[in-house]
């Protein structure tokens, strides 16, 4: 077999897991990149978060056990991939739902299970060990926020080309029963008790919780770095959809609440990479592969579809056969935009999970011979020449800075309603890919007065984030920190959209914040527990003004609410 379309841009990537050799030492990374370049690939998707751990220098999560001590694998990989020839894109792969194997408990006090054990998902019967171990529940706002922080920290501190989600879902229809999620669901819909796993409204609720975290990260990450590519490894269990309407009957949508077709339509996923892992030697499974591949080609919704091939199940010859099919157009004339291989470590196999061969040099050579030459990845028009931006924000109660869950946000342009949004459990909302221009918002929530925000400008390729408080504050809203000097001790003040000056990882130290524009700062003594905050995070702060003996003004008895990175 020989490759076709050699001169056209095409995504050619490979998944590099963190469990096996690949990125643990400088030597492994050099070998990885040498093989990738020999294979004429142009991207690596490297697993830097497996189970609540980090193959990079993280202020939030413990270092992965496999990692060489003191070695920042991600920083080294980026340097070598970007500076070598040809340039290789680096997409960071984060496991989203799994946070620890079910056979043990994490020893590091920094691990999220030791910090916040209440964020675990449960099944209908109260069990907490899923098929992939302990997992975070997307219906718990604390885990939702924690994972968002982890992802955005990677985006902010590393020169990555893409952010790649895996396990961005639940593990089955009977999961997602964290008590906080159930309480939120019942409060939203006037229900009581525990919903049945097959309850349509409860299924949609869990689907919405997963979509909410994708939306939240997409809006902030791509506003922060407009060229960043957001992708995900997506479920394709069983046969492919027979038609467009059959999508809702597939396992991704029906059983694990991963509506990746909806994400493509909304534009909160740039690259869809379904894991079309099927054994070509089986006529039945080869048919599954072809139907899923064709479904993706015909249902990209203006975004980019890349077909994930399970080379670990196939002989090298059969992997090349699947590449051939993946690159062919459908009868409607639609093509995929590339291929991604699983995996770098498990290069070929005999059709069984445990029957894979490891690190075969002939595999990487065969790919290089097939593709013949290196090509760049495809251009994404909405990033190269953007005409739209993102409008987002956080809705809080004015009296206590608690997030308003389920508030309605209406977005208007020139008096016409263009979007209707709902806030998530952290009060966050986002309207992505709004045409550049002026907008206004009307925010409504039960028991609170509505609020209108006018003259909000959305720039092409950018994002604007608004802190919105509903109700009458018990504190004085202070716009500029310099104004604190004129206020008497004991004044309750509310600060919105302030910037964290340095990482705040423990309440043993004061939190220092500054104005978004300017260097004026104030120290904040946080009373209520809060998640760690990182440098340049945006926050809302409510506290009482005091003067220390040395004349310094501080805020005491303070509550802090994270607003994101914009």
Dist. CA 245–CA 233, nearest whole Å: 22
Dist. CA 76–CA 81, nearest whole Å: 8
Look up the CATH number of the domain holding residue 557: 2.40.50.140
Dist. CA 443–CA 439, nearest whole Å: 13
Name the 3-class secondary structure at 94: strand
- Residue by residue, what is the 3-state secondary structure of 352-390? CCCCEEECCHHHHHHHHHHHCCCCCCCCCHHHHCCCEEE
Total domains in the chain come to: 3
**Where among 382, 400, 419 does a domain terminate?**
382
Same domain, 410 and 370: no
Dist. CA 95–CA 234, nearest whole Å: 12
Same domain, 416 and 378: no
Q: Quick one: CA dihedral 555, 557, 563, 564, positive or negative?
A: positive
Same domain, 47 and 156: yes
Same domain, 165 and 44: yes
Dist. CA 77–CA 29, nearest whole Å: 6
Low-confidence ranges of the chain (pLDDT < 50): 2, 4-6
CB of 17 closer than 8 Å to CB of 344: yes
Domain with 504, as residue range(s), is: 476-564
**Which residues make Cβ contacts (< 8 Å) with residue 83, sequence separation at least 6?**
none
Same domain, 377 and 393: no
Same domain, 378 and 390: no
Share of the chain residues as helix, strand and coil, in percent rounded to the nearest 5: 25, 30, 45
Half-sphere exposure of 319 (CA within 13 A, CB side): 28
Same domain, 343 and 213: yes
**Where among 470, 502, 535 does a domain terminate?**
470
Phi first, then psi, for residue 223 (nearest 5°) are: -75, -35
pLDDT at 5: 47
Q: DSSP alpha helices (H): ranges in 12-72?
A: 26-38
Dist. CA 511–CA 522, nearest whole Å: 8
Phi first, then psi, for residue 403 (nearest 5°) are: -65, 145
Q: Would you state the structure tokens that stand for residue 442, as one six-digit string? A: 């009307």
pLDDT at 355: 85
Name the pTM for this structure.
0.97
Q: Does the residue 63 lie in any domain?
A: yes
Same domain, 361 and 417: no
CB of 96 closer than 8 Å to CB of 149: no
Q: DSSP alpha helices (H): ranges in 375-438?
A: 381-384
pLDDT at 1: 53
Angle, helix 361-371 to helix 316-326, in steps of 10 degrees: 30
Task: Select from 392, 390, 399, 450 the least CA-distant residue to 423.
Answer: 392
Task: Select from 35, 39, 38 the least CA-distant residue to 27.
Answer: 35
Same domain, 427 and 548: no
For tokens 């990260």, the residue is 217
**Where among 445, 470, 495 does a domain terminate?**
470
Same domain, 179 and 279: yes
CB of 121 closer than 8 Å to CB of 128: yes
Q: Would you state the structure tokens that stand for residue 502, as one six-digit string? A: 């340095």
Q: Does the residue 252 lie in any domain?
A: yes
Dist. CA 224–CA 544, nearest whole Å: 32
Same domain, 67 and 198: yes
Q: Does the residue 2 lie in any domain?
A: no
Give residue 377's region: left, alpha or beta (phi > 0; psi -120 to 50): beta
Q: Does the residue 65 lie in any domain?
A: yes
Name the 3-class secondary structure at 104: coil
From residue 248, give the alpha-carbon distance in Å to each of 255, 265, 307, 334: 10, 14, 20, 22
Look up the CATH number of the domain holding residue 404: 2.60.40.10
- If residue 293 lies in a helix (H) or strand (E), which one and from where to where? helix 283-298
Same domain, 99 and 120: yes
């Amino acid at each position: 077999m020989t490759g076709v379309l050699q001169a056209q841009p095409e995504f050619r990537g490979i998944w590099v897991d963190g469990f096996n050799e690949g990125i643990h030492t400088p030597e492994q990374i050099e070998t990885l990149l040498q093989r990738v370049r020999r294979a004429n690939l142009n991207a690596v998707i490297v697993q830097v978060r497996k189970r609540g751990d980090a193959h990079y220098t993280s202020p939030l999560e413990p270092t992965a056990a496999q990692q060489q001590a003191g070695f920042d694998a991600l920083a080294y990989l980026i340097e070598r991939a970007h500076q070598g020839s040809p340039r290789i894109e680096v997409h960071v792969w984060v496991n989203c739902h799994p946070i620890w194997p079910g056979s043990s408990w994490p020893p590091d006090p920094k691990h999220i299970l030791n910090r916040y054990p209440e964020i675990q998902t449960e099944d209908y019967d109260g069990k907490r060990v899923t098929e992939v171990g302990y997992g975070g529940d997307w219906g718990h706002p604390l885990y939702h926020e924690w994972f968002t922080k982890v992802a955005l920290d990677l985006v902010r501190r590393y020169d990555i080309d893409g952010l790649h989600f895996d396990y961005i879902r639940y593990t089955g229809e009977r999961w997602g029963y964290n008590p906080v999620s159930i309480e939120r669901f019942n409060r939203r819909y006037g229900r009581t008790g525990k919903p049945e796993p097959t309850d349509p409204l409860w299924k949609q609720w869990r689907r919405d919780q997963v979509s909410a975290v994708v939306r939240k990260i997409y809006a902030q990450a791509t506003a922060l770095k407009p060229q960043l590519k957001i992708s995900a490894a997506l479920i394709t269990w069983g046969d492919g959809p027979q038609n467009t309407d059959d999508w809702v009957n597939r396992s991704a949508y029906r059983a694990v609440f991963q509506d990746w077709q909806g994400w493509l339509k909304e534009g909160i996923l740039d690259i869809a990479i379904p894991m079309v892992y099927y054994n070509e030697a089986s006529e039945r499974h080869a048919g599954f592969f072809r139907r899923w591949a064709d479904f993706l080609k015909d249902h990209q919704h203006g975004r980019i579809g890349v077909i994930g091939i399970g080379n670990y199940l196939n002989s090298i010859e059969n992997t090349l056969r699947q590449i051939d099919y993946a690159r062919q157009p459908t009868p409607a004339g639609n093509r995929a935009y590339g291929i991604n291989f699983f995996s770098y470590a498990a290069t070929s196999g005999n059709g069984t999970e445990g029957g894979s061969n490891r690190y075969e040099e002939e595999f990487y050579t065969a790919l290089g011979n097939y593709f013949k030459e290196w090509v760049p990845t495809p251009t994404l028009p909405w990033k190269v020449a953007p005409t739209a931006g993102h409008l987002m924000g956080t809705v809080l109660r004015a009296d206590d800075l608690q997030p308003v869950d389920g508030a309605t946000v209406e977005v208007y342009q020139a008096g016409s309603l263009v979007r209707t949004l709902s806030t998530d459990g952290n009060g966050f909302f986002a309207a992505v890919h709004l045409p550049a221009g002026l907008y206004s918002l009307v925010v409504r929530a039960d028991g609170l007065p509505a609020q209108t925000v006018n003259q909000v400008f959305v720039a092409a390729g950018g994002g604007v984030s608004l802190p919105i408080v509903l109700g009458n504050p018990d504190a004085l809203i202070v716009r500029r920190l310099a104004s604190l000097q004129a206020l008497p001790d004991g004044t309750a003040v509310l600060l919105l959209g302030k910037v964290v000056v340095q990482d705040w990882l423990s309440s043993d130290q004061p939190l220092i914040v500054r104005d978004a524009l300017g260097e004026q700062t104030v120290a904040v003594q946080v009373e209520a527990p809060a998640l760690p905050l990182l440098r340049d995070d945006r926050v809302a702060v409510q506290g009482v003004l005091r003067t220390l003996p040395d004349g310094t003004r501080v805020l005491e008895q303070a509550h802090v609410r994270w607003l994101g990175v914009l």
